[in-house]
Structure 1
């Protein structure tokens, strides 16, 4: 049965743990939560949308009475720009910590390459850090305070290819045998492609007819896309990571007679489902593109989605926004559970989470529990498809709101 939440429930998620406590402390100083995301450069749109989601969560928590276990302490967002490189992201993390010594926790950095760099700093400071970034390497380093709420890139790759083959078989009567890859060399893309090259192709009886890797951002995609036409793949996996590259790739595929309505194009990541790509590329150019994601709002958060759309003016509540909203709520929940803003106690509360309500409803499967690596247990892949100017869920079946289309 689908659970729906109203405004009151959405704004009161972090209060339950305090109800059983006989004593409520006096209102304390603000609880500080850091958000370190790209707010400039090629990945800025992703950070801007995360900021919108986080600010809404902050408002909801504070309007509901703040952190109840701390006497109604208010929550404050500390927003920091990563800049445009791994080095600037690491520097930003160092400044963030030195300028804000009272931080209780934080989240970011969207691009896995940035997250890998920044968490080297946050881990040394014992700051609990939540991330939507996909790269497996983020939680393969033995860190104790980094928590990955997305299914990893490896897991997504291993799930999405069998689904695509099944969809194609159902639509055309035959399974694809040839695939082309185009992707950048950032950490998530590298992580996504590793299992595909290592074993997924062989397991699924697929042949790679083209494998193109580039350094972002793109200035021109002609040399990358033109060979696809002669290679004649049955579908193309696009592992770009920013909206500028997405637009250039889509425009070039269309220019060479391979629009996504004819050539199945499958992207990966939240940048493929932001309003900007609809504005810059156009409804017809993006039509039928499928996108693998780590999260997408389901029916359980319809009320929250509607409030966000009304407040922000954006046409939908998407991947980046819901992650930032959820991460803010998780940290607030953990502060409340720990009855402390101390970062190590907050990290302990996150580390031992095992809930199916509260912030858990913002994830497919409605479960938050982290394994020994810091990966969310039961994290699920979501696939959406651009249909009539909007990304809609086509997988998993219990979240699907439309039947998938396989372009031919």
Structure 2
């Protein structure tokens, strides 16, 4: 499976637009990405569902962790990068002596596929727990999959570390075995709104009109609701609120509604396949949006999105990314991890790889602190984790300023200026712009966006 996906990633002439090496204005890290800090001869074959990602040590105890991601379906390229990051982290942990509080026990990842579907995610999670006897589960990127699979983990009292899904329901259900490392939809949306505040101030805009088009799911509805609440506080006017059933082959009708609305700004929330269909329709119908198309990640972060589209289709679009894209170059050890990612998996390190890595490290820290696989002890160990980013803690590859869980088991340091970055695509490259501390001197937005008649 991995060879097929890596080949796909390598074929992407535009994949570098969303990765470290091609981020305009971030500067040159000086790292040689052709070098590897690990064994470059390591197999790149993907594990099948229920099969260990890496063989356990020949001696000593082995602790199993479920690694649950979308390896097929609409989010497959994203899920594979999460799985790769988790695998790379566990290889490093095992090579450095494993879980020392458990006598050097090695960690064995058991990889499972959500198939980018909530019902399949819950079945896969149950199989990990009941058949494979994993001690905890990390995953599962898509919000609906995180919600359904974590419900299973809660049912069996198995610790679940959610990474990727931003819907508020992940940590709003009062589940004591479910933790989330990454930001919530609230953080994602407010990062975009805050950037638009800056744009309004810099361009003397008193108000904005906006359109919302989003998949009719927990994730999409959350994004739209939070955007609308924040926009209403600013006196902006909603001219279109359009939920869409996913999986449509043509979105011309939705795009024409956007065009007829005369919106200044469009906020869109779709996963990869729908993002491709929608973006193509938006371009084909030459919809002018002077202050931008703003995507809350999703499909606009996927390499497959850029492979499928001409550069002109997504040029000028704004995308909320889940990490400090320039900060990845600031530390030698991060450069080494990035080089190892390129050497082992065949692509430049992405935020998804970093998120998988971080999830695996948090699971390891919990095991180290608990010194046991007892579920209650592991649950309490996760709750007690406090990691602060001094630039050297390897768990914080994802760039968060800290990992500290609140009363809802949500990491409250995963958003805002401490977490994500707003980029604008300019000439095929992602240019980090907001917040200012995640940008560099010389990076400027192209605004207002030229109309199609002016391009």
TM range (shorter): 0.7 to 0.9
Following TM superposition, by how much is the alpha carbon of 1:154 offset from its aligned partner in structure 2, in angstroms?
A: 2.3
The residue that corresponds to 1:253 in the other structure is: 282
Alpha-carbon separation, structure 2, partners of 1:320 and 1:271: 12
The residue that corresponds to 1:20 in the other structure is: none
Q: Judging changes above 3 Å, is the alpha-carbon distance between structure 1 residues 156 and 173 closer, same or farther for their aligned structure 2 residues?
A: same
Following TM superposition, by how much is the alpha carbon of 1:365 offset from its aligned partner in structure 2, in angstroms?
A: 4.3
TM score, norm. by length of structure 1: 0.86
Q: Tell me if structure 2 keeps the 8 A contact 1:360–1:366.
A: no
Structure 1 counterpart SS, 2:135:
strand
Residues 1:325 and 2:357 are matched in the alignment: yes
The residue that corresponds to 1:280 in the other structure is: 308
Q: Judging changes above 3 Å, is the alpha-carbon distance between structure 1 residues 390 and 306 closer, same or farther for their aligned structure 2 residues?
A: farther
The residue that corresponds to 1:403 in the other structure is: 444
More moved, 292-301 vs 151-160 = 292-301
TM score, norm. by length of structure 2: 0.78
Structure 1 counterpart SS, 2:437:
coil
The residue that corresponds to 1:14 in the other structure is: none
CA RMSD of aligned residues (A): 2.5
Following TM superposition, by how much is the alpha carbon of 1:269 offset from its aligned partner in structure 2, in angstroms?
A: 2.3
Q: Tell me if structure 1 keeps the 8 A contact 2:269–2:298.
A: no
Residues 1:308 and 2:336 are matched in the alignment: no
More moved, 231-240 vs 375-384 = 375-384
Alpha-carbon separation, structure 1, partners of 2:344 and 2:77: 18
Following TM superposition, by how much is the alpha carbon of 1:168 offset from its aligned partner in structure 2, in angstroms?
A: 4.4
Q: Tell me if structure 2 keeps the 8 A contact 1:236–1:265.
A: yes
Structure 2 counterpart SS, 1:257:
coil
1:351-390, Cα deviation, whole Å (9 max, x unpaired): 0111215245334442111001010022214123323333
Following TM superposition, by how much is the alpha carbon of 1:322 offset from its aligned partner in structure 2, in angstroms?
A: 1.1
Structure 1 counterpart SS, 2:179:
strand
Following TM superposition, by how much is the alpha carbon of 1:398 offset from its aligned partner in structure 2, in angstroms?
A: 1.9
Q: Tell me if structure 2 keeps the 8 A contact 1:385–1:404.
A: yes
More moved, 321-330 vs 299-308 = 299-308
The residue that corresponds to 1:362 in the other structure is: 397
The residue that corresponds to 2:208 in the other structure is: 177
Q: Tell me if structure 1 keeps the 8 A contact 2:178–2:409.
A: yes
Q: Which structure's relative contact order is higher, taking Cα pairs within 8 Å and 6+ residues apart?
A: 2
**Stretches of structure 2 lacking an aligned partner (at least 5 in a row):** 1-28, 39-57, 451-455
The residue that corresponds to 1:343 in the other structure is: 375
The residue that corresponds to 1:222 in the other structure is: 252
Following TM superposition, by how much is the alpha carbon of 1:210 offset from its aligned partner in structure 2, in angstroms?
A: 1.1
Alpha-carbon separation, structure 1, partners of 2:208 and 2:110: 49
Structure 2 counterpart SS, 1:398:
helix
Q: Tell me if structure 2 keeps the 8 A contact 1:273–1:319.
A: no
Alpha-carbon separation, structure 2, partners of 1:270 and 1:66: 34
Following TM superposition, by how much is the alpha carbon of 1:66 offset from its aligned partner in structure 2, in angstroms?
A: 2.0
The residue that corresponds to 1:19 in the other structure is: none
**Stretches of structure 1 lacking an aligned partner (at least 5 in a row):** 12-25
Q: Judging changes above 3 Å, is the alpha-carbon distance between structure 1 residues 99 and 296 closer, same or farther for their aligned structure 2 residues?
A: farther
Query: After superposition, where does 1:383-394 map in structure 2 within 5 Å?
Result: 383-394=422-433
Residues 1:237 and 2:283 are matched in the alignment: no
